[in-house]
Amino acid sequence: MGSLGEEPQVAEDCMGLLQLLSNGTVLRSKSIDLITQQIPLANHETVLFKDSVFHKPNNLHLRLYKPVTSSNRTIPVVVFFHGGGFCFGSRSWPHFHNFCLTLASSLHALVVAPDYRLAPEHRLPAAFEDAEAALTWLRDQAVSGDCDRWFEGGPSVDFDRVYVLGDSSGGNIAHHLAFRLGSGSVELTPVRVRGYVLLGPFFGGEERTKSEDGPSEQKLTLDLLDKFWRLSLPEGATRDHHMANPFGPTSPALESISIEKMLVIAGGSELLRDRGKEYAYKLKMRGKKVDYIEFENEEHGFYNHSPSSDASQQLLRIIGDFMDNVSDIF
């Protein structure tokens, strides 16, 4: 604690866009909005979208995306959780919005993109709680039939085919939901989660991996990842906390929990590559149905930054095949 009248000091600084002061004050720069606005919004005439409140007490919104089609076939649901190190991000950021438009169009699915409370104002497990609230909202919509009023006309939604897709910190959220809900997601009935896709999941640990010790990425450094953990984990927690490291020394055992099938995807040149690869391997060794796919030479979030690239298009095909194969099991 500083002396009376002493000016607070900057305790953490994320690129000048977010600062945590020594007295607990959080300063967020408005220039982050200027940066994101430089990314052009895609124009998908085949996808409709609208916003909705899903948690009034915390004023949390989500964005719904529905493909325009004359087909009468029901469409699945993809729940997308954005990235940002638990400290940044929103459904309205152009690169997340554009990716969701692409998901809806390419996968022919209703995409639900919830916001969640951000750290350090709201440290973990706030984001996990908000993610659960979003799925609870989806269940309530399915039960009440209010989903029929989301958009006029178009195909009906099949709540028996729901998939959770998480990008970076959203991938960590997807992990949490997979083990929180377990196989069958009974408490969400009639919503049934069939599978989880983790894109470059944001996990951590005190012991460095080989990829973390490698060169920095164009848009990501190890120092920034460490700052995200210090800002988002409960105060005083290390990167071995179970919310950062699913296999840390104090993390709960996962062997006894049955989960739905999972797909983990990482870029071959991203700092978090080995975290995702190790996560998939350890889950498979524990009897879980997990596939791991690596995109050679790609960095973290390549699908957001270069949505029209060959790698991004291949990613969409892989996700679509995963959804189809999981559905064929039932």
| Nearest CA among 277, 294, 279, 269 for reference residue 245 | 279
| CA angle at 296 for the pair 162 and 203, rounded to the nearest 5° | 55
- Residue 191 has which token pair? 């919503």
Q: Provide long-range contacts, Cβ within 8 A and 24+ apart, for 241-244.
A: 243/124, 243/125, 243/128, 243/172, 243/176, 244/172, 244/203, 244/204, 244/205
Centre a 10 Å sphere on the Cβ of residue 9 and count the other Cβ atoms it contains: 9
Centre a 10 Å sphere on the Cβ of residue 3 and count the other Cβ atoms it contains: 5
- DSSP E strands in 142-219: the ranges are 157-167, 193-199
Domain segments of the chain as ranges: 46-324
The torsion angles phi and psi of 122, rounded to 5 degrees, stand at -130, 95
Cα torsion at 182, 188, 193, 198 (round to 10°)?
Answer: -70
Please tell me the pTM assigned to this model.
Answer: 0.95
Amino acid symbol at 160:
D
Question: For each successive 10 residues of the chain (330 residues), what is the average pLDDT?
Answer: 71 93 93 68 86 97 90 91 97 94 95 98 98 97 84 86 98 98 96 98 98 94 97 97 97 96 98 98 98 97 91 98 80
Coil, strand or helix at 231: helix
Contact of 273 with 204, CB cutoff 8 Å: no
Centre a 10 Å sphere on the Cβ of residue 216 and count the other Cβ atoms it contains: 12
Give the pLDDT of residue 154.
76
The fold of 46-324 is Rossmann fold (3.40.50)
Please, which residues have CB within 8 angstroms of residue 324's CB and are 6 or more apart in sequence? none
Where in the sequence numbering do the catalytic residues fall?
A: 168, 270, 300
- Residue 300 has which token pair? 């973290």
Chain segment 91-137, per-residue pLDDT in tens: 999 999 999 999 999 999 999 999 999 999 999 999 999 999 999 99
Give the pLDDT of residue 2.
47
